[in-house]
A and B are shown apart, each in its own frame.
Chain A
Amino acid sequence: GAGVSQTPSNKVTEKGKYVELRCDPISGHTALYWYRQSLGQGPEFLIYFQGTGAADDSGLPNDRFFAVRPEGSVSTLKIQRTERGDSAVYLCASSLNTGTDTQYFGPGTRLTVL
């Protein structure tokens, strides 16, 4: 079946602009995770959803970052007033449930802030 998909695959924006990154999880997966991977580093946790609610948003770096999952499926990561330091690959993952279920990753969105 279809895996996790993310759009766009690449996004170039200017400093100060607003961006939205979309994640389509595997159908039926109730848990959805966002990670950020800067160049030369491992992925870092941002936020995860169980259903529609954000169960843990402790990884969001500041209040410019926000994520939603209004119907418990697709999720959107929103970044306001982008800064050059936000440039990274943003990864989405989903799992059947939380706990020990395997997380399946999407291909990522490469965000470049000029």
Chain B
Amino acid sequence: NAGVTQTPKFQVLKTGQSMTLQCAQDMNHEYMSWYRQDPGMGLRLIHYSVGAGITDQGEVPNGYNVSRSTTEDFPLRLLSAAPSQTSVYFCASSLAGQGADTQYFGPGTRLTVL
């Protein structure tokens, strides 16, 4: 199993540009989520999905869109990038998202918005 994969690893955008961060998992996990990690802060939940076709907002959803058309893929779209979105983004998946399921994280995408 490849686990959770993310692309790209690094990205530089100009303010106002849009882009999609890709996330895929091959463990047949129902629950997938996106986090951002900023210096000195804990990971913050952006959006999550409990299964194909179902998504919901997390703690910091503004400026981001998600979709879940398949179990494997959970892309994160930045609609109009802002410098405040400069961060490291992690995708994660787990079997069900409830209880004590182990959560698996991808390697992260480091995004810089100029």
Is chain B a partner of chain A in the same complex? no
| A interface residues, Cβ below 8 angstroms from B | none
| B interface residues, Cβ below 8 angstroms from A | none
